Structure 1
Amino acid sequence: MKIAVIGGGPAGLYFSLLMKQRHPEDDIVVHERNAANATYGWGVVFSDIALAFLKDADEAFFRKFTAHHTRCDHMEIVHRGVPVRLSNNHFSRTSRIDMLHVLQQACADAGVEVCYESHVTDPAQLPDADVIVAADGVNSEVRTRMAEHFGPSFDERRNKFAWYGTSRTFHPVSLIFRQTPHGVFMAHAYQYSPERSTFLVEVDPDTWQRCGLDTATEDESRAFCEQIFADDLQGHSLLTNRSHWFQARVVSNARWSHGNVVLLGDALRSVHFSLGSGTRMAMQDAIALFEALSANRSDVPAAFAAFEQSRRSASDRFQDAARRSLDWYESVDTRMHLDPVRFAYDYMLRTGRVTHEDLRARDPEFVAQVEAATTPAHAA
Structure 2
Amino acid sequence: MINKNYPFSGPRILRSLFFLSLLCTGFSGFAQSHKIHFGLIYPVSSNGVHAPLDTNNVSIHLIAGVSSVEKGVAFAGLANIVLNQAYGPQFAGFSNHIGKKATGPLFAGFANVYGEGGSAALAGFANVARGEVKGTQLAGFANIAKNLKGGQFAGFANIAANGNASQFAGFINVAKDIKGTQIAGFINVARKVKGAQIAGFINVADSSDCPIGILNFVKNGEKSLGLSIDESQTTMLTFRSGGKVLYGILGIGYNLKNKKEVYAAEAGFGAHFFPSNVFRLNVELTASHLEDFKAGDYFKSSFKVLPAFKLGKHLEVFGGPSFNYTSTNTTEGKLLHTQHLHSWQNKWSDRLQSLYIGYGGGVHVIF
Bigger proportion of residues as helix: 1
TM-score range, shorter chain: under 0.3
Q: TM-score, normalised by structure 1?
A: 0.22
Bigger proportion of residues as strand: 2
Q: TM-score, normalised by structure 2?
A: 0.23
Higher Rg of the two aligned structures: 2
